[in-house]
Structure 1
Amino acid sequence: MSPRGVPITDVRERLFAAAERVLAREGPGGLSNRSVTGEAGCAKGVLYSHFADLDEFVAELVLDRFGAVAQGAAALPGRAGQGTVAGNLTATALALLASSGPAVASLALTRAGVSARVRAAMAAGAPGMPQVERALADYLEAERELGRVGSGTDCGALALVVVGTVHHLLMTGWTGAADPAGQVHRFVAELARGAGAAGSEVPG
């Protein structure tokens, strides 16, 4: 319910989006039941009517955002043979960069209870970065079969480099840092060129 007693639809997503705004503005230390519900414009008891405690809320937020990222990456293998390898990898890396999944996940590092819940969910099969990495590897393997990536390319290692580098850019994207989108374009172009990918010329 809202402060005025009006039913709130899609409460879960509304609280998640509010938490992301609080994190962006105040960092992990600013996240609390009060700050999230206040940002969402709803009563303080709403969060606890949907989640057992704040740790469960944060864990579910992390898993939800990871799941959305993984779902978006799942379509990548189907694009093998279309466009250029560098272009497809860049688009995927930029989508990861624009997503909140990895950035929100950093919050789990500050809360032991959240980390334990997320690890347990991942072990039980919840989607996340391993699925993104696998989708990238599958895509590169498909391109290798088509001859658009060098036959000697270690597709799994290349997928790990893309995911790991994007995660690094997210974690170090403080004010004044270099434009991460520009860095994505450069490092993916170099990776694609090193893998012998067709259409992988580095922009001048």
Structure 2
Amino acid sequence: MSPRGVAIPDVRERLFEAAERVVARDGAAALTSRAVTAEADCGKGVLHTHFAGLDEFVAELVLDRFARSAHQAQALEARVGQATVAHNLREVALALMDALPPAVVGLAMTCPAAVLHAREGLRSGAPAFDAIQQAFTVYLQAEQRGGRLPDAADSATIALALVGTIHHLLMTRAPGRAEAAKVTVERLLAVLLRS
């Protein structure tokens, strides 16, 4: 355990990763501030030192993972002209789904105070699905300019359909169903990129 009074490097991320492990292993009902700090191997009060409470912590975890996902989606632009368009989109879409484990999404949706805090963060400009959709659109438009996507393809609509599917899969998939999600994303991309 970290000694009392000693700064913990990357404490937020350490607590977030601990929470994800607790939820994955023991379920959402097992997530308490004590369970998180025990899993993170730090003092019991650390979570409350950095967050107003467990609801704020859960909301911040979700917002952090959305921001991380938006950053991953923005990295698509560096892949223009590499591999195939479908491959690039599939890799990012699946990484986005891995960034928010189903149990954490479910947990966030069942805590009304966490939902309100997350909505507040999103209204204040925290990146989420709109930033991901924009990143997909920018990537697809660049691939169009490079001739790897037909001029007639509606990049914005393809991006919207892909983000909508990712959102749906995040909200409805059961833990351990990653393969089914992968198949759904592949089927959708085959249809969307056929144009």
TM-score range, shorter chain: 0.7 to 0.9
Cα distance in structure 2, aligned partners of 1:175 and 1:89: 22
Cα distance in structure 2, aligned partners of 1:103 and 1:148: 37
Instruction: Please show how residues 23-38 of structure 1 align to structure 2 within 5 Å.
Output: 23-38=23-38
Secondary structure of the structure 1 residue equivalent to 2:83: coil
Paired letter, 1:65:
R
Cα distance in structure 2, aligned partners of 1:68 and 1:86: 21
Residue number in structure 2 paired with 1:172: 173
Cα distance in structure 1, aligned partners of 2:15 and 2:168: 27
Cα distance in structure 1, aligned partners of 2:15 and 2:116: 22
Structure 1, gaps ≥5 residues long: 196-204
Cα distance in structure 2, aligned partners of 1:182 and 1:98: 15
Secondary structure of the structure 1 residue equivalent to 2:185: helix
Secondary structure of the structure 2 residue equivalent to 1:109: helix
Name whichever structure is richer in helix by fraction. Answer: 2
- Whether 1:139 and 2:139 are equivalent positions in the alignment is yes
Paired letter, 2:78:
G
Instruction: Please show how residues 1-204 of structure 1 align to structure 2 within 5 Å.
Output: 2=1, 5=4, 7=6, 8-100=8-100, 104-170=104-170, 171-175=172-176, 178-192=179-193, 194-195=194-195
Deviation string for 1:33-60 (max 9, x for gaps)? 1221122122221111111111111111
Cα distance in structure 2, aligned partners of 1:177 and 1:91: 13
- Say if 2:56 and 2:114, in contact at 8 Å, map to a contact too: yes
Alpha-carbon RMSD across the aligned residues, in angstroms, is 2.4
Paired letter, 1:28:
A
TM-score, length-normalised on structure 1? 0.82
Deviation string for 1:117-172 (max 9, x for gaps)? 11111111111221111100111122222332222222122112222223333431
Per the TM alignment, residue 25 of structure 1 is displaced from its structure 2 partner at its CA by 2.1
Q: How many residues are aligned here?
A: 193
